Amino acid sequence: MSAFLLTRRRAGPQWEPTRPVEAQSRWEEHARVMDELVERGVIVLGGPVGAGERVVLVCEAATADALIAAFADDPWTASHLVDEIEPLTIRLDARRR
């Protein structure tokens, strides 16, 4: 059974704050992995927050460990981004109309 998980990602040790996101090292590989996770239904929605050094993702996975495993192929995990993962309880959902 899957659950919704809220993932907050923030700039990690190799993030270059003077560069836009698309100019960060290994951007193409990172974008490919993120697109694959969207296609698989792991990432439900997400995007940058504030000035762009933080990202919020709503994900669907069986457990936080399963979500961590899903992000294992992302070259930015631990180099550019640091994750915080918490369960998300959906109480308001416009999709149910």
In a domain, 30, yes or no: yes
Closest CA to 59 of 73, 43, 38: 43
pLDDT in tens, 42-53: 999 999 888 777
Confidence of residue 66 (pLDDT cuts 50, 70, 90): very high
Contacts of residue 94, Cβ cutoff 8 Å, sequence gap at least 6: none
In a domain, 65, yes or no: yes
In a domain, 97, yes or no: no
In a domain, 58, yes or no: yes
Per-residue tokens: 70: 């899903």
In a domain, 95, yes or no: no
How many domains does the chain divide into?
1
β-pairing, 3-11 vs 43-49, is unpaired
Question: What pLDDT is stored for residue 80 in this prediction?
Answer: 75
* CATH number of the structural domain spanning residue 47: 3.30.70.1060
Q: How far apart are the first and last CA of the chain?
A: 23
**Residue-number span of the structural domain to which 31 is assigned:** 3-89
Pairwise pLDDT comparison (83 vs 63), residue with the higher score: 63
pLDDT in tens, 3-27: 899 999 888 888 898 998 899 999 9
